[in-house]
Amino acid sequence: MDIFSTALLLFLVIDPVGNIPAFLVILKGVPEERHRQIILRELCIALVALVLFLFLGQFILAVLQVSQGSLGVAGGIILFLIAVRMIFPVPKGIFGEEAEVSEPFIVPLAIPLIAGPAAMATLMLLMARDPADWPRWLAALLLAWSISGIILLSADQLARLLGRRTLTAIERLMGLVLTAVAVQMFLDGVGQAYRAIVHGP
């Protein structure tokens, strides 16, 4: 995978367009002039968490003795579940949680809405496949994070411009694309696990 295809995958996983309604609901009780400052702060916190997971994820795998195939299968399942929720949203949002009225800090905007389990699992999988290619994965993460940040910082304007129905349609389209990615990741993981069993570690 090159930088742009990896960045697209991470962008789909972060799902900034789908997160706009959740962000607006969570920030409903906060003065609108504070929205950009809060979102920028949460974006930076999420980036730190994702970068840490990018570089420490392989050590976590080593400690837990999780194989690359197992991670691929798990990552595919997680991505698939997130994609299904994007296509068929539940009333309380993707994560089924009630929004906080007070000004949020770290949870739930930075984690898990931006730096969610699917994004972390994807980064772990990328590093497990080719640890030496970390500059490419980091560049892809920064690119996906930057585009997601621009979209989220424009959440108020986009919500007024596009409307809730258009945002929902875009999110479901992204969910369809992510479903295909999840199935491919799952199949790759199954193939790797099978080869490991047949040919040994």
In this predicted structure, the answer to whether residue 101 has a pLDDT above a threshold of 50 is no
Q: What is the pLDDT of residues 130-159, one digit of tens each?
A: 888 999 999 999 999 999 999 999 998 988
pLDDT recorded at residue 165: 83
Please work out, in degrees rounded to the nearest 5, the angle formed at the alpha carbon of residue 51 by the alpha carbons of 72 and 23. Answer: 90
- pTM comes to 0.76
In this predicted structure, the answer to whether residue 181 has a pLDDT above a threshold of 80 is no
117-129 and 35-64 are packed helices; what angle lies between their axes, rounded to 10 degrees?
Answer: 50
Please report which confidence band the pLDDT of residue 70 belongs to, taking 50, 70 and 90 as the band edges: confident
Q: Compute CA distances 28 → 93, 95, 110, 160, whole Å.
A: 15, 18, 17, 14
pLDDT recorded at residue 100: 44
Tell me what the pLDDT averaged over the chain comes to.
83
Grouping H, G, I as helix, E, B as strand and the rest as coil, residue 107 is strand
Please report which confidence band the pLDDT of residue 201 belongs to, taking 50, 70 and 90 as the band edges: low
Contact 155, 20 (CB under 8 A): yes
Percentage of the chain modeled with pLDDT above 90:
28
In this predicted structure, the answer to whether residue 94 has a pLDDT above a threshold of 70 is no
Closest C-alpha among 56, 170, 57, 42 to residue 115? 42
pLDDT recorded at residue 149: 97
Which structure tokens are listed for 107? 């949870």
In this predicted structure, the answer to whether residue 46 has a pLDDT above a threshold of 90 is yes
Instruction: State the CB neighbour count (10 A cutoff) for residue 148.
Output: 24
